[in-house]
Amino acid sequence: MTDPLYVRVTDILARAERFSEAAPPLLELLGSELHCDAGVIWLADAQRVAMRARVFWSRPGLDAAGFRDATLQLVVKRDAGLPGGVFATGETQFIHDIPSTPAREAGMLSALAFPTVDASGVSGVVELYSTEPNPPDGKLLDVLRHVGTQLGFAISRDEARVALQRSEEKYRNLASSFNDAQAFAHIGSFEENLADGTVLWSDELYRIFDLEPRHRQVGLDYLISRVTPSDHDSVQAAIASQQPIDLKCSIITEDSAERVIRIRARIARDARPRILGSVLDITLDETAARERIELHRELGEARRISSLGQLAATIAHEFNNVLMGIDTFATVLARRATDEPTRTAVSHIQQSLKRGRAITEDILRFTRAAVPVLATIEVAGWLQSFLPEATALTGNRAQLDAEPGLFIAADVAQLNQVLANLLINARDASSPPSPITIFARRAGEDVDLAVCDRGAGIPPDVRERIFEPLFTTKRSGTGLGLAVVHQVVRAHQGTVRVVSEVGVGTEFHILLPRVTPKEVPREHLPSAVLLVEDEEAVAIGLREILSTEGIDVRVAANGGQAIHLLEESQPDALILDIGLPDILGTDLYDQITERWPSLPVIFISGHYEVEWIEHYLVRPHVAFLRKPFETPQLMAALARVV
């Protein structure tokens, strides 16, 4: 899984108005991410005694028509088969040998099913099938429990919405029947005789206050006594005015439940002076309104992030190509520079390029987790080069204590963002002049990279949620900073550990696998390469870099030229931009593999993400580099695929 599954599930749920709209892409996501071939979403009926298949998915190319038709006609009760067993127990289950069923006839061998759960229990089951044994591990089971809760909440929210719509429709249809209308609409009525104090309450009004109808006489004084203190004065003032009343307030019922009601009352001054009134229980409406506000806020946040992602993807393509063109020439200049002023100038250019790459990564990380482009880096040297930025971020409070000689395989731009996020949090949590320390130590087979402050600390209840997307305690925060930290570290095969004590300070420890630096032997590099790149500056720069390494480079600006040059020169490897002017690089590669199936290829792109070519990357002679990349990353990738 390229990024946390629950984040992508949340994104799909946020984009859909109803669960029925989200269900097909959710099932496709789960099936693809868990390497399954087919799947079903079962939803329980209103009484939750049986389930019906609502959505069916199968991977492209699978002949599953009979399996699908048979499944969509089924009604499953508790303990019936795999989905019925999960429905009954609420536990994830796996079977490795499916018996003779339409699923087995379609080639399915194993099946995994997990429940969708809300506050009332199991509301449905997600069932995934595979043509191979694919047992889940403990980590996957934890993820599925989290996803099951997400889906259960979305399903129950849809059920509540449907129930509310049906309730409103019933209220309109039964308006002609006073008693039924009161019961369905939660409207109670009362009448209090001002002459003799006789009081009449309707049955529904008794129920609103959690009282047995007519078991004792209660009146306006009792109603006022149940009003919450915050609304008590306004209710008494409205009654004392002896004017018609129409106000909203909260009450505490006999069962200690808090409800929101709307009181309407007036004084009838006729032969029998009395107070006439009604009480409407609007608790569900108020709760639904608050949920709608929260949902709109979440949707607004998701749409904001989605819009930013679409804009970022558009900008990143051109911006990264520009950076790549500059970077390649800067690398050429750095290798040819003989005097100190020129080397200094080139160094400044390269630092600015790194800053440009960081800006692009900052934007993209708000929208999706980027796959790291790894290179071997010396930790102390990297942190020393990052120290000026750390100092600026912390107001000159950053201190560095790094053990020399430690190496990791990392994407420097991504780890710079991780450190920046942690340093900003440390700065906001502590007051000047308390120091903020970055240290790096050997920790067994790992490198322990930590950011430590002496600030306010994180309370335990908050600490449990700090890595959740969109969770924040800051007034203006997005709640994405630490979620990005968690994503990036996991993508680097690392872990994050938090040590915090309120009033003492906080330490974020990032444990990353320690590696041994290796030079790429010249004999592992290709002798001849075909570079397919339509950006002239990028093509010229890459040709210069590869030529410096003794590699013969020919350049094609489009797919047609690439086929011609392949026939003519038959290179050892292909560097292929995905976004060509006449054809997608992936489509061109499909044509090439028909004639040269074993030709090593490195896909490069500043716009398309690795997800586009995941099915190619299972081949040992295929790799991907995201622009802008550095020369060591290119050399390592060439050595790996050749």
Secondary structure (DSSP) of 364-407 = HHTTSPPPP--EEEEHHHHHHHHHHHHHHHTTS-EEEEE-TT-E
- Identify the CA nearest to 625 among candidates 358, 636, 615: 636
| C-alpha span between 574 and 585 (Å, rounded) | 11
| C-alpha span between 1 and 143 (Å, rounded) | 11
pLDDT at 128: 95
Most confident of 90-99, 167-176, 210-219, 329-338: 90-99
| C-alpha span between 226 and 215 (Å, rounded) | 18
What percent of the chain is predicted at pLDDT more than 70?
Answer: 86
Q: 224, 265 in Cβ contact below 8 A?
A: no
Q: 558, 535 in Cβ contact below 8 A?
A: no
Grouping H, G, I as helix, E, B as strand and the rest as coil, residue 448 is: strand
pLDDT digits (tens, 9 = 90+) for 619-635: 889 988 887 777 777 88
pLDDT over 70 at 301, yes or no: no
**Exposed, middle or buried, 78 (CB in 10 Å: 0-12/13-18/19+)?**
middle
| C-alpha span between 148 and 538 (Å, rounded) | 46
- Residues 151-177: b if buried by 16+ CB within 10 A, e if exposed: bbbbbbbbbebeeeeeeeeeeeebeee
Q: What is the mean pLDDT of residues 193-197?
A: 81
pLDDT digits (tens, 9 = 90+) for 325-340: 787 788 888 888 888 8
Q: What tokens were used for 573?
A: 């490897």
pLDDT digits (tens, 9 = 90+) for 342-380: 888 888 787 777 767 666 665 555 455 556 767 788 899
What is the residue-averaged pLDDT of the chain?
A: 83
Backbone angles phi, psi at 214, to 5 degrees: 65, 20
pLDDT at 359: 60
pLDDT at 453: 93
pLDDT over 70 at 15, yes or no: yes
pLDDT at 1: 45
Beta strands in 218-319 (DSSP E): 245-252, 258-268, 274-281
pLDDT at 175: 43
Q: What is the pTM of this model?
A: 0.36
pLDDT at 2: 43
pLDDT over 70 at 197, yes or no: yes
Q: 502, 457 in Cβ contact below 8 A?
A: yes
**Exposed, middle or buried, 556 (CB in 10 Å: 0-12/13-18/19+)?**
buried
| C-alpha span between 148 and 128 (Å, rounded) | 13
pLDDT at 309: 52
pLDDT at 609: 67
373 compared with 108, residue with greater pLDDT: 108
pLDDT confidence band for 58 (50 / 70 / 90): very high
Adjacent-strand bridge partners of 401: 439
pLDDT over 90 at 557, yes or no: yes
| C-alpha span between 201 and 218 (Å, rounded) | 8
Instruction: Compute and round to an integer the Cα radius of gyration of the chain.
Output: 33
Q: 265, 275 in Cβ contact below 8 A?
A: yes
pLDDT over 60 at 225, yes or no: yes
What percent of the chain is predicted at pLDDT more than 90?
Answer: 27
- Identify the CA nearest to 407 among candidates 447, 439, 437: 447
